[in-house]
Amino acid sequence: MSTQKGSPTKEDLQNFKEEIVHQFHVISEGVIDQVKQVAEGVANVNEKLDRRFNELKAEIDNKTQPIAQAVLELSGKVAGLDSRVVVLDGRVAALDDKVVALDGKVDKIHQELKTEIQGTRQEVLAAVKFSYAELDRRITTLEKEFLELKHRVEKIENRSIS
């Protein structure tokens, strides 16, 4: 630029403009270089993150694979146990029905035996009463006969003495 103190000339303005554009290009090239460096850094960080992510994913997969396998095995075992439980439930229900039926039969037999025992008891009591009465009659007869014999023996003894 010229050092005159008047109004700038067109050439001065053109030079000023070119200098500003030049400075802008210099600064923008620096900014572009820095942006490229930042982009490369970001790309490097992305690569490192991707690598680390893949490593962690592989490590997690390696550690969770046995767990997943165990869960599948346990799931199969649980399914097997569930089917066995269903079968056992059916058997228990069938046994329950049989127990109820047997309980009814036992109750019926118990009632029949109770009735039969009661009847037999009545018969035995009647027989005992009859036997008691018969024995009492016999004893009474024997006592009378004994007294008669005793009386006769005394008479005979009294005759023999006299």
Each residue's pLDDT tens digit in the chain (162 positions)?
445 566 889 999 999 999 999 999 999 999 999 999 999 999 999 999 999 999 999 999 899 999 989 999 999 999 999 999 999 999 999 999 999 999 999 999 999 999 999 999 999 998 888 888 889 999 999 999 999 999 999 898 888 776
Contacts of 12 (CB under 8 A, 6+ apart): 1, 2
Token digits for 62?
Answer: 């390696």
Greatest Cα pair distance in the chain: 209
Token digits for 73?
Answer: 């095995």
Token digits for 75?
Answer: 């799931």
pLDDT value of position 130? 86
pLDDT value of position 5? 62
CA 58 to chain centre: 36
